[in-house]
Structure formats: C-alpha cells, structure tokens
Amino acid sequence: MKQFVTAGTLAVALAVGGTALAQQPPPPPAKTPAAAKPADQAEKPAPKPRAKHRAAAAADKEAAAHTAPKQQPGTAPEASAPDGAMALGTVRIPKAVKADGKDLPAGTYQVRLTPEEAKPDAKGSTEKLERWVEFVKGGKVVGREVVSIVPATEANFVQKDTPPRAGGSKVETLKGGDYTRVWINKGGNYYLLHLANG
C-alpha cells in the first residue's frame, strides 16, 4: 500500500507542477548575435570631448574676468616743422634736372624753405611736412619743388644711408637713375627733395 500512496503522491505532484509551469510566461527569446562585422569595421570607441587649447582657455578666462577697457598706448606727438621761410643751405646739382616739371640746369643754388604748404593728396601725409622750396641763383628764384620734411624725432625711421653732416647737404642719383635726391640736414630735421633727371 505504501507504494500505491507514493505513486499517487508523485502523480499529483507532477500534475500540480505541470499546471504551475503552464501558467508562467515564457522566457524572453535569447538574443541572436548581430551579423559579424568585418575586422576593418570593428566598433570604434566613442570620441573623447576635445579639450580647449590652453591659450584659448586662458583668453576665455581673461575675457570673463575683464571689465574695463585696456589702456592703449599713447599716439606719437604731432610732427612739427619750422614755420615761415628759412634758408636751408647751398647745394650743387651736377646735372640738369626737372623741378616742378620745369628744367633746372646744373649749377649751385641756394635752397629756401617757403611757408607755402604743398597740400599733398597722399593719405596720412601731414601738410606741414610737405612744403615748397625755392632754388635761388643770383638773388632770383629759378625753380621750385616740393620738399618732404622729416622731423628730428622721426629721423631714425628713414635714415638708411649715411645722412649729411649737421648743416650740410648731400646730392646723389638714386638707383635706377631716374631721380636725383637732394638731402639737407638743418636744425636736426631732414629736408628731402626728389628731382626728375632731365
């Protein structure tokens, strides 16, 4: 009889267990592996965020902290030139040239600065520094030309050749032979004339 009871208990247990299993939801389907990628298309790691360049980061930090405008350097003082007429000296021009488009024969001339401004068209030019000079021979004005005045404070910016001595002058044909430059050193200022060769 014990065997019969054990067999009956076993049958009941199987029936209950089967019913319990039938009531449970089915397990989720197993994930199927994705199609294998070729070796050259392996998954890449996510890109790292780019760090700002140090200088840019410093500039951003400075801009955020900066509240007042930065101090700007002062501008150069206005260039000055002597007012009125003034004798610049005597020069010897070795060959015929053109002054203000007119012939000026070779010879020795007194050069006199006039108060008349040349009114240059060039932007950035200072009218006070572009003036007319006269070439005087035997007490008579025989020619005139525009002179560029380089103040003593700016002389080192244009001084490439050896300048004439103080109170002296230098006359030379420029490279290419198209112009003769008359360079006068008077009172610490340079007076530059460019005369077309005739």
Is it the case that residue 5 has pLDDT exceeding 50? Answer: no
Residue 187 is predicted with a pLDDT of 87
Measured distance between the N- and C-terminal CA atoms of the chain, rounded to whole angstroms: 149
Region of residue 178 (left: phi > 0; alpha: psi -120 to 50; beta: else): alpha
8 Å CB contact between 99 and 144: yes
Is it the case that residue 144 has pLDDT exceeding 90? Answer: yes
Beta-bridge partners for 149: 191
Nearest by Cα to 161 from 147, 172, 150: 172
> What is the value of pTM for the model shown?
0.57
- Which of residues 99 and 10 earns the better pLDDT score? 99
* Mean pLDDT calculated for residue range 118-147: 82
The residues near 88 (Cβ < 8 Å, ≥ 6 apart) are 111, 112, 113, 133, 169, 184, 186, 191
Residue 190 is predicted with a pLDDT of 92
The domain ranges of the chain are 86-197
pLDDT tens for residues 52-77?
566 666 666 666 665 666 666 655 55
Nearest by Cα to 193 from 73, 69, 121, 109: 109
